[in-house]
A = this chain, B = another copy of it.
Amino acid sequence: MTETTPRRRDAERTRAELLTVATEVFATSGYAGTRVDDIAARTRTTKRMIYYYFGSKEQLYLAVLENAYRGIRAAERDLHPGDLPPLEAVRRLAELTYDHHLGHSDFIRLVSIENIHHGEYISRLGSLREVNRDALGILDGVLARGRAEGTIRDDVDALDVHLVISSYCFFQVANRHTFGHLFDRDLLDPALRDHHRRIIGDVVAAWLSAPAADG
């Protein structure tokens, strides 16, 4: 981060650098807690440029949010369970999701922050909707295969499964601090990673292979 390139003018680079740094700062301090001066100070350029490229603190935050969601989508496209039996595929997906969340804590924090704000900013980014929808497509396919085989219960849909997996993985990152303090267990301790990853795999595999409850 220290003085890699000379100060030649480069709009793209300047803009990109601001976005990257802003992402870190917003993720670290929240929206209201972030100082525009602070973002600027961490770049090779000045506060003036934030207004030149983004117009306002709010629009910068919106750009950060949209960029983060798009980046996550791209990363999620690599989450393919492969060609496994349905139950194993879901287990695999859960474990991949676990690693994925742990590797994108800035994004997780931005989501938390956005929820603190009652989603008022994300609701202005309508274009993101389609993005996450097809993340469910893969899962839906796997579940359908399993239901056809009779190896997966038929009273849950992809969104339910997604919810269970996401909740668990999200919590590990989002609530690391309070949980760690109250229970003396650092959820992100590398030594616990395999244990925690296996748990979410076990949980969904056991759940989905159990017989459906009678309506």
Interface size on A, residues (CB 8 A): 57
Specify which of B117, B156, B181, B198 is in contact with A129 (CB 8 Å cutoff): B181
The dominant DSSP class at the A interface is helix
Chain B residues with CB under 8 A of A207: 202-203, 206-207
Binds B, one of A17-25, A36-44, A54-62, A107-115: A107-115
Complex: A112 Cα to B115 Cα, angstroms: 9
- A202-B198 in contact (CB<8A): no
Number of identical protomers: 2
- B177-A119 in contact (CB<8A): yes
A128 within 8 A of B: yes
Return the 5 tightest CB-CB contacts between A and B, nearest first.
A119-B177, A167-B171, A32-B33, A32-B32, A206-B210
- B181-A119 in contact (CB<8A): yes
Task: Select the residue from A119, A160, A167, A209 with max chain B CB neighbours within 10 A.
Answer: A167
Chain B residues with CB under 8 A of A67: none
- A178-B32 in contact (CB<8A): no
Chain B residues with CB under 8 A of A109: 116
